[in-house]
Amino acid sequence: MKKHILPKGALILAVVMVFALAAQAAPAAAGTAQVRLGFTALRQGRVGLVYVTGEAISDVRAVFQERVFHFYPKDGRWAGFISANFSDDVGTYPMQVWVQYTDGSAETLDQPVQVTYGEFGRSDVTLPARLYPLLEPEIEAAEMEHLFNIFERFTPERYWEDGGFIPPISGEEIGWFGTWRLFNETYWRRHTGVDVRAPIGTPVQAMASGRVILVETLAIRGNYILIDHGWGIYSGYAHLSEQLVVPGQWVRQGDVIGLTGLNGRSAGAHLHYEMAAGGAWTDPLDLIALGLGVNAP
């Protein structure tokens, strides 16, 4: 399966040009498309489903918070997701939905989206002296930049199955997405995923099918695996004692990709797993609950 990746800026520009040219070439097909939100409001760091209905639709894209989201057909309508960045302010944001028809015409529909407070908690974390250097802001920034250079790229194919996503491990959750963490009474950091307590060597499974895009040792996340699930969704697995896959490898949901460990910026054995959708960190538990399969309601 050949993989095509577009940088975020280029993708937005390409979508704008395609739909602008289509709109000039022919009038919209009677303006039949309608947009329906699968939610009343979207919390920071959460994902929501959006539906588009209409006759003879060939493609649907949406732009929200300067990020592009693709839709897929299901039972006579088109379904897609949008994600709210957990670091953006609450408020009403515009969403543009671009609809292209089989006759080559196109139209743009404007839909406001209300983003509400994510209700994130806070916690205090004390690290041993040997890990103090990993609290330096420059190290945090460099690692984030490295990951977002990947997250802001988009794979048009959808690799995950209709069942959506599953937890990579079972166990006691000890850290939650979006939490404000105060390290050693000095540094505030946001938690980008979910932590699950697990003894070293516990098998970790892929949350959904996809292509392994990164297998590295990072300063903060330690031994790390990143999987591209297509359509802008990625899952990451950190602090592993063993990485059992290689970059470019295709995996299926439930495949064992690594073993839990204790490395990076971690003071105890556990699995940190995280997800990004549309170029923004997203609550993994929310994505798991949502499903995101073609049979999503």
163-187 tens-digit pLDDT: 789 999 999 999 999 999 999 888 8
Amino acid at 26: A
Detail the DSSP E strand segments found in 229-292: 233-238, 240-243, 250-251, 256-260, 270-277, 280-282
- Cα distance between residue 26 and residue 94, in whole Å: 26
State residue 31's pLDDT score: 60
State residue 73's pLDDT score: 87
118 has pLDDT over 80: yes
Mean pLDDT confidence for 234-248:
98
State residue 173's pLDDT score: 96
Structural domains for the chain: 6-116 (2.60.40.2470), 122-290 (2.70.70.10)
pLDDT band at 11 (very low <50, low <70, confident <90, very high): very low
Question: N- to C-terminal Cα distance for the chain?
Answer: 29
Sign, Cα dihedral of 128, 132, 135, 139: negative
pTM greater than the 0.75 cutoff? yes
5 has pLDDT over 70: no
pLDDT band at 9 (very low <50, low <70, confident <90, very high): low
Measured CA distances, 144 to 48, 175, 237 (Å) = 24, 19, 15
Q: Please, are residues 211 and 232 in contact by the beta-carbon 8 Å criterion?
A: no
pLDDT above 70 coverage of the chain, percent: 87
Q: Please, are residues 114 and 41 in contact by the beta-carbon 8 Å criterion?
A: yes
Measured CA distances, 88 to 9, 60, 175 (Å) = 19, 25, 22
293 has pLDDT over 60: no
18 has pLDDT over 80: no
Mean pLDDT confidence for 271-285:
95
State residue 61's pLDDT score: 94
Q: How much is the mean pLDDT over the chain?
A: 88
- Cα distance between residue 290 and residue 297, in whole Å: 9
More confidently predicted of 15 and 218: 218
Mean pLDDT confidence for 112-118:
97
